[in-house]
Structure 1
Amino acid sequence: MKPPAFLLRTIEMSKEEIDEVTGVSTTGHEWDGIKELNNPMPRWWVRTFYATIIWGIAYTIAMPAWPMIESATKGVLGYSSRAELRAELDEATATQASRRTAIKEKSLNEILADDELRRFAISAGSAAFKVNCSQCHGSGAQGSPGYPNLNDDDWLWGGDIKSIYQSIAHGIRFNGDPDTRISEMPAFAGVLEDKQIKEVAAYVASLSNTSSDPALVEPGKVVYEENCAACHGDGGQGGRDMGAPNLVDAIWFYGASEAEIAAQVRAPKHGAMPAWLERLGETTVKELAVYVHSLGGGEE
């Protein structure tokens, strides 16, 4: 009876065949007439392989390695990456605590004069801004209609560090804080005739742009001097003591067209900002003030 084919192949492969050229025995594997030589692995490679096995065994003994039902083997060295991370976090928290204490105790000008403390305050203020202020002022503090752009150098109440702190700490037209900044433009509907409102809107528009009807500018100037100059200044440059906007530049909260200016004269919109001192605390408000001051429009 003839043996099965696979048994014949096994018998054939078991016969040692010596390659005539190299004198090395073959493995019995052959592809397209090319036979595989049975060369041993280099000794350095074999030794390295055994060394890695020994290293792996030693590592699993020394370090946490084998998963168990509720935990893992702790290893004889007792190392824990979680403990290491916890220690780093505790160290960072301690460093932050010391710097926040310094910020609380030092004046705003002293914080600005200390480069390391100022950088820390800017970083912390940036995080606080994203959580508490970006909803109105935008993630980049670029503002939006009705909300100031904090990157430019146009400030209603002043752009020095103390003025910025005051605005953040006590808010704008915030009823819950007795020290809040308060100013309201009166509604001139019923006080001025509709024609006078159109004239003053044309004059105000001419301060930073070209009026659509130059004939209205001169009578509008008279209306302005009689009703608006007390707050906005004779030349329309604004007044920070009362938070009166500068009408000469091209920065507008509620629109720069004559129709939008006229609407604001008739029934002005008044924005409000909450007071943050009681909510966030002295330290965070200082950090916010330093951050906003650093955006580019902060004044000396």
Structure 2
Amino acid sequence: MAKHQKDEKKEPDTTGHEWDGIREYDNPMPRWWLWVLYLTIIWGLWYSIAYPAWPLISKATAGYKDWSSREQLAEDMTAFDELNAPWNAKLDETPLTEISADAELELYAVNSGGAVFRTWCAQCHGSGAAGAPGYPNLLDNAWLWGGSIEDIYFSVKHGIRNDDDEDARYSQMPAFGEILDKEQIVQVTQYVMSLSSAQSDDAAAKAGEMIFQDNCASCHGEDGKGDREQGAPNLTDAIWLYGGSEEDLTETITYSRFGVMPAWSGRLTEAQVRAVSTYVHQLGGGE
């Protein structure tokens, strides 16, 4: 019985190029692959004509469809504003202290206020609202101007020590480096450290107590517990806005501090101010 021998596999044609005995095969791409390539080229050319694509000196080509990502975003924002309008109106009309009594309204305020906070407030207070040196921690109960929702609302709306809002909260600590000598500053620094039970020099602290009563008690109180009406911090709780080390306190007493917060009433809507106040109040430090 005759055996059929398998045909030897035919080698593909070559391009005629050869390097060190290595020949270059002439293997064309599959036809379907080429058609896909041609279609993507055609689609790419159409897309670059239909939509903004080619950069020019001051702008890009507009495309015959006249589509704009900015206009699309504006349309989407308008649509969402229309959907949220009833909730914003209700938020405007509801007394601040009664927002938490309406579960749905509070949920809307917290979510809306969270978005406002992450957009406008997180740069200073941090994404988690824990603050940073010079920027208050909003998670604790140490509030310079009060932590009720009404107090928070007022601070957000009018700001702190700014020149834009005549109702901005305002306080200013003198630079005692211009009033006291260096030895007195050392003594009052030691006394302030002793108020929060930090390690201090007893003799210097005792001498600094009289200096404190003469120069600092009018704002911080005779016991050092501060005065919220004046924005004077409590010096006995070991919570320091600019740091509580001997070096930090010496610099604060010598040169003073003057933190500024903008007034948000001109940048945010009334509903947004109320929403972010609600959000901050429920973080855990609101009173």
Query: Contact 2:156–2:277 (CA<8 Å) still a contact in 1?
Result: yes
What displacement does 1:213 show? 1.3
Distance, in Å, in 1 between the alignment partners of 2:246 and 2:188 is 9
| 1:277-292 map, 5 Å | 277-292=265-280
Aligned to 1:126: 114
Matched, 1:172 2:160: yes
Q: 1:101 to 1:197 in 2, by over 3 A?
A: same
The answer to which of 254-263 and 116-125 deviates more is 254-263
Distance, in Å, in 2 between the alignment partners of 1:281 and 1:99 is 13
Query: Contact 1:239–1:246 (CA<8 Å) still a contact in 2?
Result: yes
Deviations 1:15-45 (Å, cap 9, x if unpaired)?
xxxxxxxxxxxxxxxxxxxxxxxxxxxxxxx
Aligned to 1:214: 202
Identity across aligned pairs (percent)?
47
Matched, 1:294 2:282: yes
* TM-score when normalising by structure 1: 0.69
> For this pair of structures, how many residues does the alignment match?
220
What displacement does 1:116 show? 1.1
| Bigger CA radius of gyration | 1
The answer to which of 105-114 and 177-186 deviates more is 105-114
Deviations 1:191-218 (Å, cap 9, x if unpaired)?
1111111111000000113343111111
Tell me which amino acid in the other structure corresponds to 1:275. Answer: A
Tell me which amino acid in the other structure corresponds to 1:96. Answer: N
Q: Which runs of 5+ in 1 are unaligned?
A: 8-68, 71-88
| 1:55-66 map, 5 Å | none
Matched, 1:107 2:112: no
1:189 aligned to 177, 184, 188, which one? 177
* TM-score when normalising by structure 2: 0.72
Distance, in Å, in 2 between the alignment partners of 1:157 and 1:238 is 10
Is the partner of 2:266 in helix, strand or coil? helix
What displacement does 1:189 show? 1.3
2:134 aligned to 133, 139, 146, which one? 146
Query: Contact 1:203–1:211 (CA<8 Å) still a contact in 2?
Result: no
Query: Contact 2:191–2:200 (CA<8 Å) still a contact in 1?
Result: no
2:262 aligned to 240, 261, 274, which one? 274
Distance, in Å, in 2 between the alignment partners of 1:259 and 1:92 is 51
Deviations 1:31-74 (Å, cap 9, x if unpaired)?
xxxxxxxxxxxxxxxxxxxxxxxxxxxxxxxxxxxxxx99xxxx
Regions of 4+ moved over 4 Å: 2-7, 89-95
The answer to which of 217-226 and 93-102 deviates more is 93-102
Deviations 1:101-145 (Å, cap 9, x if unpaired)?
110122212212211101110011001100000000000000000
Is the partner of 2:267 in helix, strand or coil? helix
